[in-house]
Amino acid sequence: MTIAIGFAISEASKEEMYEVFQVLAAAYAKDEVWVHIFKDCNAEEIHPWLMANMNPRWTMPDMKTFKVTELSTGENHGWDPEEDYHRKGTMVHPDYQNKGFGTELTKHCNAISDKSGGRTWVPARPTSVKMFRKNGFKDIGFVDAHLERWGGPRDKSITWTLCRNASSS
């Protein structure tokens, strides 16, 4: 599936998860909740921690991770993990954000759930909630991290839970 000239969406292999988690760390580096979680951590230790603690689960047979690859270089710039139509998140490397890759990953995953008739649940941060709503997701609830208690911005404290029924886009 080609999404933009020179880019393609495909499933990531176990061998590519090292790079997938590099994209995750880069994409979340400025997320307000992420910043407060890892504020006392050495930046060089975050990726090894992700590989040790998240990679084992995300490489199990019931999980799929989709990636966006630049065809000319083979570099991965975005990906989306899926587990029983519970999307764990959509991450696009900061250098490639606002180019439609998150939307195309969402459309790709929506097509999968449409084919099976399943619902899809997503957590959405302020940077992606509008995109999910435009792609058929409806608000179910939210979690407020109250970042202002730790000096963070009030308007970035919310993580929404959204749901999309199959073929409702």
pLDDT, tens digit, for every residue of 57-102? 888 887 788 888 888 888 766 545 543 466 777 888 899 899 999 9
| Cα–Cα dist 104/132, whole Å | 11
Residue 51 reports pLDDT greater than 90: yes
Q: Model pTM greater than 0.85?
A: no
Q: Which class does domain 7-164 fall in?
A: alpha beta
Residues contacting residue 124 through CB under 8 Å, at least 6 positions apart: 132, 137, 159, 160, 161, 162
Domain boundaries, the chain: 7-164
pLDDT value, residue 169? 44
The answer to whether 147 and 123 have CB atoms below 8 angstroms apart is no
Nearest CA to 68 out of 44, 41, 104 is that of 104
pLDDT, average across residues 4-23: 88
Residue 1 one-letter amino acid: M
Tell me the mean pLDDT in the region 139-165.
Answer: 89
